[in-house]
Amino acid sequence: MPDTLSLILTILGMFVVTFGIRFILYARAHRMQLPVWLEEALAYVPVAVLTAIIMPMILMPNKHLELSWQNPWLLGGLAAFIIGVSLKKPLLTIAVGVLVFFASKFLLA
């Protein structure tokens, strides 16, 4: 087990590396002008990352593909998708998805 000093030095080292990388990029950011097409494309990054995180959980809750009505993750995801596409209200989308997930989990158990 490492001693306290080595843990503190490790955490400080991780901080310096992480902060240093970000500081260099942010310090020069105001001097750069990105092309319009790149700025428009970067607007889709959060959606793409969130989709990449959530889809395996929805489609493979038990480490294998499960595309049945017995999958509460899939039911909640489908309900959230339908509400999100049709109404475009993020809070309602999240609430409906969570409610359908827990209701189906309770009813299917």
pLDDT of residue 32 exceeding 90: no
pLDDT digits (tens, 9 = 90+) for 82-96: 999 999 999 999 999
- Indicate if 72 and 51 belong to the same structural domain: yes
Torsion angle of C-alpha atoms 20, 24, 25, 30, degrees rounded to 10: 140
- Indicate if 72 and 97 belong to the same structural domain: yes
Query: Domain of 45?
Result: 35-108
Whole-number pLDDT of residue 30? 75
Distance CA 77, CA 70 (A): 13
- Indicate if 19 and 39 belong to the same structural domain: no
**Token digits of residue 66:** 């499960």
pLDDT digits (tens, 9 = 90+) for 15-31: 999 998 888 878 877 77
- Total domains in the chain come to 2
